[in-house]
Amino acid sequence: MAVTFVAASTVAAVAANPPTVNLTLPALNGLDIIIIDISSNNIVEASNEIDTPSGYTEFGTKHEVDGSAAADDRRQGTFWKRAVAADSGATVTISRQGTDTTLLAGVASVWRGAVREGSPFDATTATNASNSATGDIISFPAYDPVATDVHVVYTGWKADDATTALADFTNDSTTFTIRNDQEGTTGNDFTYGLWSANRTGAPLSAINATATGTDGACLGKAFALIPFVNSSVTVTTTIGSSGTYSTPQLWEDGSSADLTTAEKSAAGTFAVAALQRGETLTWTTGGATAKLLETDSTGAGNGTYITYGIISGTPGAGTVTGGTSTGTCVSTYADPLNTGVIWRGECQNQEFSGAGTQLTVSGSTSASTAYKECTTVAGASFRDHANKLTNALRYDSANGCGIRVTGSDSEVVSMNESNARLSSIQCQAPTINSKALNISGADPLVEFCLCEGTDIAQGAVLAQGSGILRNTVIIQRGSAAASILRGGIGVGFVYNCTLVASDDLATAPTAVLECSAGGTITVQNCGLFAGDSTKAVTAGSATFNFTTCYSDISGTSGVTQTTYGNEFQNVNDATRDFRLKTGAAQIDTGTTDATNAPVDIVGTTRPKQAAYDVGAWEFQALGSSMFLTLGVGR
Amino acid sequence: MARLVVRTQPNPGKTPEQSLLRTQEGDVVDIVNDGVEIRPGTLNSGHYRIIDLPGIPQEALVHLKAAVFDTEGGLVRRRAKTLDIDALRSPEWAGRSEMTLAEVATLTKMRA
């Protein structure tokens, strides 16, 4: 969204004691930026300083010009406010300290499309220029914005009420359009000019706007407004015994039906009671309803925003009431601060265990920028454990957060919604015929997970939706399974994963990868071990494209055969540990992929040695440095 | 040993099809052990009801969480069964925070 000029007020001017005058704002909308530029003929700031209008914030610094004639003296101050609807046509009082009767003038300009939170100005603060000589100009300073997408504004005053009409001017090949040109005879008279244009962030040299007149002294200021660019807002909540939600499933149920239209809006005047997460909000004006996802308000009297998923209607400015709490607040603007929510649940360091699917993700409209994501609180994952380099690489809830299903014929996590994400979590389905993951939504992302399953028909992990699986270990623990990982229709990508079956299963899986529904699956840097070299790497009609993969099974292009027992610390079911061991063929034989595998499953930076390793684990020779140190000492 | 978290307020999707993929009134959203505290994100919203079944293992109630999948594993319906929300709201059951397995069975019906 570009910043645009909306309107400017009539200059309000006074030359009398008290030096106070009311300025009437033009018609505007909430979230517009109001900039009030004030010029004072009195430059004795110690006793005659320009006041900051009530409710406004000064930006840049005041500056002045000491003209060759006292009548040409000028001092300039600039102030801003993010408008609310009630500012439209409102009165703003302009004033100056002291009792001096020389000119005090102010004008408001209104701008639309600037950022909706925080300062609307570029990080390069407003810069000033002045010129005390008589001349046909208004001088503006050089200005070099930090941002690359800005709307540069020049605003200036000249001590002359008889200038010719102000016109556009060009600076660095950009035409700056004259937005406002006013003159007045109050006091020692004045001319006010306002120009602006979109810029890419390149520096602008100092420049003079032509303002042909007879008197001298001018003041100019340059600054830039930052355009609003919508971004999703992430709503993060904790899951666990002391979290916001008790279980992953209750977290998931707390989301809204449409994450793509969910909004964060500025709000204030929180009253009556604390709004409660999950309750239904109703807008008094228009009757829109929404589900409260988050607020920073802890009760009546505090809070600055509400984030909600829209159920019906179009939320706008005005009073909002919580259906359960009866608490109220006032939504400040008609437009939201952000549209789109990432609903992020962070599990605490505990095991979530029970009968039946522990987490089903489904039923919300999502997008690549607005989705559900389940992960762990910082420090709560097996990836964060102090002994992560020496812990056996298998499910162990003592090492970090784990989700476990206790029953048979079930699954730990079912991701049936597009764009869902899962990371840093251990999932285990140890009982007969249960999957660690069932992924049927499109474009999922699963990474840094440890998945153990027993489903012999659909694999330890069933991944039907096209998506990405990376830096993850999948262990098939069910005997006589059809596969370890079963894919589905679409295009799937498997990067740096370790797909294995325990070596001592009564019957190894028929295939490591199975996909009977067509599609294309890209498999790169993966260890693919069935525990029986007579089995197959693939099964089904899909097209598999392998790059630098290893297996205990021969005969597949892009897959090098190696001995299972030589690759991992322990391949037996009870004592399984799928960290690579010294001498493994998978060490230093992978393809570099800084996009999908810059770190391994526990966060070790790749490559640790000469090249990327294959599989989820990046090998490092633990204890070798100690050995070398002792050797040097001998 | 089981504690049911039952949805008691509407939870519509954008379309009827999407609503099938979301828990609805009367659906058991989750089952936890009865010592598990239901945290404020759920409890304070006013959209759930907690029902304890002392002495009953989760496994005896897991059918209330079962979803309906197609043959390829795609989710068709979030819950196959539900609790009769009208009955739960009736004077007979409205004040009950504990039930027996048999009582829950009388309230259970296939989701339409």
Return the CATH number at A542: 2.160.20
Is residue A247 in some structural domain? no
Please tell me the total count of domains within chain A. 3
Residues A305 and A406 in one domain: no
Q: pTM value?
A: 0.91
Q: A-chain residues within 8 Å CB-CB of B44?
A: 276-279, 324-325
Torsion-angle region of residue B62: left (phi > 0), alpha (psi -120 to 50) or beta?
Answer: alpha
Closest CA to B11 of B41, B43, B36, B46: B46
Given this model, what pLDDT does residue A222 score?
98
d(CA A13, CA A103) in angstroms, rounded, equals 7
Is residue A11 in some structural domain? yes
Cβ contact, residue pair B66, A458, below 8 Å: no
Size of interface A-B (CB pairs under 8 A): 138
Alpha helix ranges (H) inside B37-100 = 40-43, 85-89, 91-94
Given this model, what pLDDT does residue A215 score?
73
- As a whole number, the mean pLDDT across chain B is 94
pLDDT tens digit sequence for A163-221 = 789 999 999 999 999 999 999 999 888 999 999 999 999 999 999 999 887 777 899 99
Contact A467, A419 (CB under 8 A): no
3-class state of residue B106 by DSSP: helix
Is residue A421 in some structural domain? yes
pLDDT tens digit sequence for B64-106 = 999 998 887 789 999 999 999 999 999 999 999 999 999 999 9
Is residue A76 in some structural domain? yes
Given this model, what pLDDT does residue A619 score?
98
Residues A423 and A313 in one domain: no
Residues A332 and A398 in one domain: no
Q: How many angstroms separate the CA of residue A418 from the nearest CA in chain B?
A: 12
Q: In 10 A of CB A349, how many CB atoms?
A: 19
Residue ranges making up the domain that contains A289 = 263-339
Given this model, what pLDDT does residue A489 score?
64
Sequence-distant (6+) residues with CB within 8 A of A440 are A414, A415, A416, A462, A464, A465, A488, B72, B73, B74, B75
Residue in the structure block whose two tokens are 């079963």 = A486
Given this model, what pLDDT does residue A29 score?
96
Interface residues of chain B, partner chain A, Cβ below 8 Å: 5, 7, 9, 11-14, 18-23, 29-33, 36-42, 44-47, 57-59, 61-62, 65-67, 72-75, 78
Q: Which of A170, A205, A240 is the last residue of a domain?
A: A205
Residues A450 and A318 in one domain: no
Given this model, what pLDDT does residue A633 score?
36
The domain that contains A318 carries what CATH number?
2.40.30
Residues A136 and A201 in one domain: yes
Residues A543 and A399 in one domain: yes
Cβ contact, residue pair A355, B62, below 8 Å: yes
Residues A49 and A195 in one domain: yes
d(CA A223, CA A194) in angstroms, rounded, equals 12
Is residue A88 in some structural domain? yes
Contact A337, A307 (CB under 8 A): no
Q: In 10 A of CB A326, how many CB atoms?
A: 12
Residues A300 and A410 in one domain: no
Is residue A244 in some structural domain? no
Residues A41 and A134 in one domain: yes
Chain B interface mutation, best of A362, A404, A418, highest count of B Cβ atoms under 10 Å: A362
Among the partner-chain residues A246, A277, A417, the one whose CB lies closest to the CB of B38 is A246
Q: A-chain residues within 8 Å CB-CB of B27?
A: none
Q: How many angstroms separate the CA of residue A244 from the nearest CA in chain B?
A: 5
Sequence-distant (6+) residues with CB within 8 A of B50 are B3, B4, B5, B6, B38, B43, B97
Q: Which of A557, A580, A603 is the last residue of a domain?
A: A580
Helix (H), strand (E) at residue A183: strand A174-184
Residues A28 and A165 in one domain: yes
Chain A interface mutation, best of B45, B59, B61, highest count of A Cβ atoms under 10 Å: B45
User: Based on the number of CB atoms within 10 Å of its own CB, is B79 exposed (0-12), middle (13-18) or buried (19 or more)?
Assistant: buried
Is residue A630 in some structural domain? no
ipTM: 0.98
Cβ contact, residue pair A356, B62, below 8 Å: yes
Strands A372-376 and A263-271: what pairing?
Answer: unpaired
Residues A280 and A153 in one domain: no
d(CA A123, CA A115) in angstroms, rounded, equals 13
Residues A332 and A407 in one domain: no
Q: Which of A580, A601, A624 is the last residue of a domain?
A: A580
Cβ contact, residue pair B21, A253, below 8 Å: no
d(CA A586, CA A5) in angstroms, rounded, equals 61
Is residue A10 in some structural domain? yes
pLDDT tens digit sequence for B82-93 = 999 999 999 999
What type of residue is A351?
E
Q: Which residue ranges in chain A fall short of pLDDT 50?
A: 624-634
Sequence-distant (6+) residues with CB within 8 A of A581 are A566, A567, A568, A569, A619
pLDDT tens digit sequence for A552-608 = 999 999 999 999 999 999 999 999 999 999 999 999 999 999 999 999 999 999 999
d(CA A193, CA A39) in angstroms, rounded, equals 12
Give the pair of three-digit tokens for residue A416. 């049936």
Q: In 10 A of CB A352, how many CB atoms?
A: 26
